[in-house]
Structure 1
Amino acid sequence: MNGKHITKLGFQKKAVGLALAAAQIRGQAGLGQAEILGELRGVLAAPSEYGGSVYAELAAELLAQQEQERRGQSAPLRDSPLPYSVWGADLIEPGATAQMDMAMRLPVARAGALMPDAHVGYGLPIGGVLATEGAVIPYGVGVDIGCSMMLSVYPLPADLKAAEARQLLLKHTRFGAGVSFEKRERQDHEVLHDPAWQDQALLKYLHAKAAEQIGTSGSGNHFAEFGSFRLAQPDLGLEAGEYLALLTHSGSRGFGAQVAGHFTRVAEQRHKRLDPAAKKLAWLDLDTEEGQAYWQAMTLAGRYALANHEQIHGRLARALGVTPLLNVSNSHNLAWKQQVGDRELVVHRKGATPAEAGRLGLIPGSMADPGYLVRGRGHAAALASASHGAGRQLGRKAAERSLVKGDVQRYLEQRGITLIGGGVDEAPQAYKRIEDVLARQSDLVETVGEFMPRVVRMDTGSQDI
């Protein structure tokens, strides 16, 4: 008897080897091939009845496979979405609301909220907050896992010359797909030595690229900005006044994007029967090997994203010859295990800032508009969240079609902005007004300080400004 005989009966994967091993034992006991095949058919038909026999290990594997298949056959979507709270509904496009409605129909969904900067994304809308039970959604976190903000406030006056700021950013930051510092310029970081890199074949494969790109930023809306930070009243151990500051927006580079793509495909395979309209909301149960693997990779990508910020801020602080008075950071593309009512749920914030009571966070505007240091109020209906920025009012292609380069340049000049790189798709006019967005969420956060950009570096866009 060989594997072909076993496979023809309908056994799959690990069960084939276990069936062969059991068949060998039965053959040694004097049974013929026909009798053994008959017994194997019985085990395949009713594995729960063979727990105390020579087929016990095979039966256990079959039951495990059945459970896995059962989970893959997703429960149907709810007929209507669970109720959720919305902030700034007048600022949110209908497509983003429709995506949130779909997310709230998932059988694993338990609570949600939509922030005033919300706009259409893949699966969960950007600005969507979704709490699930026992499951994580790769596209509920997003492609740029761990995308985050960091602010450093320096003991220096806010009058750094634009030419000097420009040279500092050109020398100490790197932007764009696939970019890295020269090998001799790269710096080590403890995140690159995390044992988790060796736990998965995918992470082993991505480690070299992550090490090569450490301390750099991607394209799109990632930036590094020198500007002035204004504190209206004493707080955080600082006197009221204006300070030189650095604000950065960066993520987990190609490492996080490849993790997101891989596990999204895994989730979609597990939920082939999920309504096609919810395809990008396919989830992984956290008590499965795949779910645990994603959680580990996501957590590592989040740490790696913050490591990139730490190196950017470290390089520039050393170049300035100062130690920051204040350093604040937060991720806004991640999932957290969070107590919601009497249950621990998985809270996905895809383009949303954690805003637990007393927690500091950063909400930027655009390259020519202020950003804000905020303190969370811990609003329960918002799942202790706030917006992650101003939010787009024009998609990238729409911005490139409708905005005139000369008009954008004049807008920047009028506001005293020096821009390095950046495309029309990232023009201030492509974004909602940050003041409007903040006004819609005064019950979610309080404003602590204001950052005004002066010299901005981004990757080059398809239509450079």
Structure 2
Amino acid sequence: MNNINNKPINGNDLIALGYPENEILGIALKINKKRTGYTKVEMLEKYAEVLSSPNDFINDKIFKPLAKGFIDGIHLTKEEETIPLNEDPKDFEVYGADKIEDGAFEQMKVAMKLPITIAGALMPDAHQGYGLPIGGVLATKNAIIPYGVGVDIGCRMALSVYDLPASHYIEHYDSLKDILMKNTKFGAGHGFHGQYKAEHRIMDDAKFETNSFIKNLKDKAWSQLGSSGGGNHFVEFGLMEFEKDDKALNIPKGTYLALLTHSGSRGFGATVADHYTRLAKDVCKLPYKAKNLAYLDLDSEEGQEYWIAMNLAGEYASACHEVIHQKITFALGAEVLSKVENHHNFAWKETYENEEVIVHRKGATPASKGVMGIIPGSMTAPGFLVRGKGEENAINSASHGAGRLMSRTQAIKSLSQNKINTYLNDFGITLIGGGKDEAPMVYKDIHAVMDAQQDLVDVVATFTPKMVRMADDGSRED
């Protein structure tokens, strides 16, 4: 089989055959994932035959769903029944373009055609997601896109720099490992119960009484308070190096033990995202290629509900980090010299070119002038404590990490666990949990990503991971 036959069929291939840009395209692409032994050329021939004579395939075990879709009239969906997109996408700034996959560019171009779009930017860690690409920043006029925010609402980084020297890591290695194991819990559906439940003022927030949907999620939120998700979420000890005094943070030059955490709003945020995404799709009918960008008017009841729920999810995510850091700091018996926290997968009301806009940062870090943030690399690559420069062309944003180079499925299929273990050992990394899909080699070069955004942030200090704990149950609450 040659390289052409190995390449996957995409939507453009089917559109070229005459396929409509609606749900029928999704059915066809889903079938293509199975391939069932056909080459690409053979599959395209079959697709052309189904398009011209769907009745001939109504009993075909592979193409029956597609044939049925045509016969049932899905292809007759009228374009005028949807909110039209602008013919040409607005321009958007791109940082680190040579490292960004085509799929992310295409998703961003569709987002820039929305009638509510004011401005956009693509960060150097960008890759394809649902709706808005991960690493996509989009400013809109009085409207919010649930999938522009993302599934893990308010996902964030939190850093505690301790008054402990770098030598503390080696001298107290076993104790640190015990502290991580006893004070963290990971994975979808996992949480605390009974006497082990954490206490936090967030659980008394009046926003939990907004409506019955939110109210019914309160028990789930409480049980998972202080826990971390699956996927790329972590709690890790590392060494924080300040090459010079930082007067703003009041930290002298030196290297300190630090705790870095990455997680979001858990099952609560994911349920909110799913509910309001479906609601947005019901009230905002967009053409097929843009359907995951369905938006809610902020003047509508649904828009106001989502805005409140999103903010609650963000505050809840922050509370989870606060609980984790408090537990571990108490166990260490250390003093926190500085605490920094920032979030992504969120929407903010901000001013852009003297106009109030809603800025969606899906996998992007706020980087207004003077704003602190943390941009992690991977288990074996450094992370960076940064200070924003307030670059308006980037809509005051920066990357939220290195960005994926390899899909989760590709990583699981192609990477050897022995090779991963050897790689981690070479870097002196202790990993507790974690799957092959989070191996260091699935991420872009963080140094190249940082080079591409020198106009967006200044580096204040460097974080070197040493002991990492992640989910080991295969969960993907990311």
Instruction: Give aligned-pair identity as a percent.
Output: 54
Q: 2:278 corresponds to which residue?
A: 265
1:228 and 1:242 in contact (8 A); partners too: yes
Q: 1:129 corresponds to which residue?
A: 137
Matches of 1:260 and 1:422, distance apart in 2: 25
The equivalent position to 2:443 in structure 1, one of 411, 420, 431, is 431
Matches of 1:202 and 1:188, distance apart in 2: 22
Correspondence 1:296-335 to 2 at 5 A: 296-335=308-347
Matches of 2:213 and 2:269, distance apart in 1: 11
Matches of 1:450 and 1:221, distance apart in 2: 20
Matches of 1:216 and 1:205, distance apart in 2: 19
The equivalent position to 1:239 in structure 2, one of 252, 268, 292, is 252
* Cα distance per residue 1:53-102 (max 9 Å; x no partner): xxxxxxxxxxxxxxxxxxx9653101111000000001100000100001
Question: Which AA in structure 1 matches 2:232?
Answer: N
1:251 and 1:305 in contact (8 A); partners too: yes
* Cα distance per residue 1:134-159 (max 9 Å; x no partner): 10000000000000000000000123
The equivalent position to 1:165 in structure 2, one of 169, 176, 186, is 176
Q: SS where residue 455 of structure 2 aligns?
A: coil
- Residue 292 of structure 1 pairs with residue 304 of structure 2: yes
Q: SS where residue 305 of structure 2 aligns?
A: helix
1:120 and 1:126 in contact (8 A); partners too: yes
CA apart distance, 1:178: 1.2
* Cα distance per residue 1:395-426 (max 9 Å; x no partner): 10011112111111111000000000000100
Q: 2:126 corresponds to which residue?
A: 118
1:220 and 1:461 in contact (8 A); partners too: no
Q: 2:360 corresponds to which residue?
A: 348
Normalization by structure 2: what TM-score? 0.81
Deviating beyond 6 angstroms after TM superposition, the runs of 4 or more aligned structure 1 residues are: none
2:243 and 2:253 in contact (8 A); partners too: yes
Matches of 2:407 and 2:437, distance apart in 1: 8
Correspondence 1:68-87 to 2 at 5 A: 75-87=83-95
1:128 and 1:350 in contact (8 A); partners too: yes
Deviates more, 1:380-389 or 1:195-204: 195-204
Distance 1:461 1:96, change over 3 A: farther
Matches of 2:240 and 2:194, distance apart in 1: 34
Question: Which AA in structure 1 matches 2:138?
Answer: L
TM-align CA RMSD: 1.2
The equivalent position to 2:189 in structure 1, one of 178, 183, 206, is 178
Correspondence 1:443-454 to 2 at 5 A: 443-454=455-466
Correspondence 1:362-401 to 2 at 5 A: 362-401=374-413
Question: Which AA in structure 2 matches 1:257?
Answer: A
Q: SS where residue 163 of structure 2 aligns?
A: coil
The answer for unaligned runs of 5 or more in structure 2 is 1-79
The answer for unaligned runs of 5 or more in structure 1 is 1-71
Q: SS where residue 325 of structure 1 aligns?
A: strand
- Residue 254 of structure 1 pairs with residue 267 of structure 2: yes
1:162 and 1:454 in contact (8 A); partners too: no
Question: Which AA in structure 2 matches 1:264?
Answer: T
Q: 1:4 corresponds to which residue?
A: none
Decide which structure has the larger Cα Rg and report it: 1
2:381 and 2:464 in contact (8 A); partners too: yes
2:284 and 2:296 in contact (8 A); partners too: no
Question: Which AA in structure 2 matches 1:330?
Answer: N
Matches of 1:301 and 1:375, distance apart in 2: 25
Normalization by structure 1: what TM-score? 0.83
Q: 1:204 corresponds to which residue?
A: 215
CA apart distance, 1:183: 2.1
* Cα distance per residue 1:99-152 (max 9 Å; x no partner): 000100111011000000000100000000000001000000000000000000
Correspondence 1:102-113 to 2 at 5 A: 102-113=110-121
Question: Which AA in structure 1 matches 2:411?
Answer: A
Aligned residues: 391
Matches of 1:338 and 1:109, distance apart in 2: 14
